[in-house]
A = this chain, B = another copy of it.
């Protein structure tokens, strides 16, 4: 009773020691919020399609704390079970970090000055993503000091009728400074219990099999996520591994659109909704990590650099400290659906081909125009497939609609509209190539067409001697310069305005 009174009095004191004591007391006496095994499924339903879940797992490898140069997405059959695997060559995780990955909302990702901005910040991507793709996931990770295996498995939790989400983890410590020496694990009760849970309730049946899997990292490090009991639809695997040996396809999205009386046709669907290879090629605004799907590298598309007649525009809302940059241009794609705004957030695609402004009209206005914008000031929702519908989002959409309309009008009716032939419109303003070694992008001299480049291109192939070695930094984006430069001349807009003024003047004087 004395303790209670003491604590009660302490509650009013604000110094750090008191608060720390109170926190400890709270952690003893106040129950924590639990997680039901069923939550794993419920939480995963925020992903309305499988690729959205896959993107979460790619993001995790991409982020600066992992900092992988490469992620390999594959299918494998392990002990008779079809698995979807994600293997990166990043930093790997300590046991504590792995436990956080298997928990909810722990995100240690911090932006380091000069490095890439982390994409994830809700600390939910692995859980929602993996559990959307399959019932079970087992994670192998090798860090410089240890190797760990962790299990997030709905099957395991159902088998043992668990009341809360238990995540068995086993860790092997690695001896320092010696290459290729076997790790050592503790032989205490806890470790054995965790190991047994994994061996009895996963697709790996012996400790040797686990160590074998870990040996795949060789002398390097990295993380391998193996997802099994993959989601089924109508007794088939949800994802289509058969149609294309170098791709993973999503057959779910073939909606037949009956908008027309005369010709009910299959709706023009974006290829990125159906092909993982295609989706991965546009997933990052500036790709910095190799994505390899079923052994074949994804050729990334640098969207803003593949357009023709590109113009920059900008937007400075009162509530934002900096200007937002738009890039508008014409796509070379023949699919009429391939136009609209590509909205990125911290380099990651959130919404693709979002029709705005004229493009929402059925009369062909705005056709073929693509806008690219990195909208870091907006808040992506839970599944990173949309933004929170705030006043800021509304203001942004209103603005980007206006800017797209401006761009279209200028290119169609403006001063320079007549000078171009239709053929010219199809070619990108510049050809860019990414070095397969350093992953940097190089602008190629005029006359070189992207299609003519070899499958694997390296800096030394660049005819431009000022950018033909991997140690030469990438050509700067010159955003500061772009800021100073006036935006393109909106001749059509000016004429319209003049005409209106003239009319008003005419009215006034008559």
Contact = CB atoms under 8 A, between A and B. Distances in A.
Interface of A: 3-4, 7-8, 11-12, 19, 22-23, 25-43, 45-49, 99, 102-107, 121-124, 152, 160-169, 189-190, 192-194, 196-197, 200, 233-234, 251-261, 264, 319, 356-358, 360-362, 365, 379-383, 386-392, 394, 397-398, 401-402, 405, 409
A48 B261 contact: no
Given A35-B105, A381-B45, A193 B29 contact: yes
Nearest to A359: B259
Contacts of A25: 193
A390 B190 CA distance: 42
Contacts of A383: 46, 382
B105 A37 contact: yes
Contact of A401 (B26, B39, B257, B401): B257
Given A32-B35, A104-B39, A358 B259 contact: yes
Contacts of A35: 32-35, 103-105
7 closest residue pairs by CB, A with B = A39-B105, A42-B122, A36-B105, A46-B382, A29-B193, A33-B165, A362-B362
A365 B362 CA distance: 14
Contacts of A40: 105
A33 B105 contact: no
A36 B102 CA distance: 11
Given A386-B48, A391-B234, A402-B258, A36 B123 contact: yes
Given A123-B38, A389-B48, A394-B253, A4 B192 contact: yes
B8 A196 contact: yes
A19 B38 CA distance: 20
Given A36-B105, A124-B42, A233 B11 contact: no
A136 to B, nearest CB: 14
Given A7-B196, A23-B162, A43-B124, 12 more contacts: A12-B200, A29-B189, A30-B166, A33-B103, A45-B122, A47-B381, A233-B390, A252-B391, A257-B360, A257-B401, A259-B361, A382-B382
Given A103-B34, A167-B31, A258 B196 contact: no
Contacts of A405: 258, 261
A356 B267 CA distance: 12
B107 A38 contact: yes
Nearest to A166: B30
Contacts of A264: 402
Contacts of A124: 39, 42-43
Contacts of A23: 160-162
Nearest to A266: B398
B104 A36 contact: yes
A15 B193 CA distance: 19
A234 B394 CA distance: 13
Contact of A34 (B104, B255, B356, B391): B104
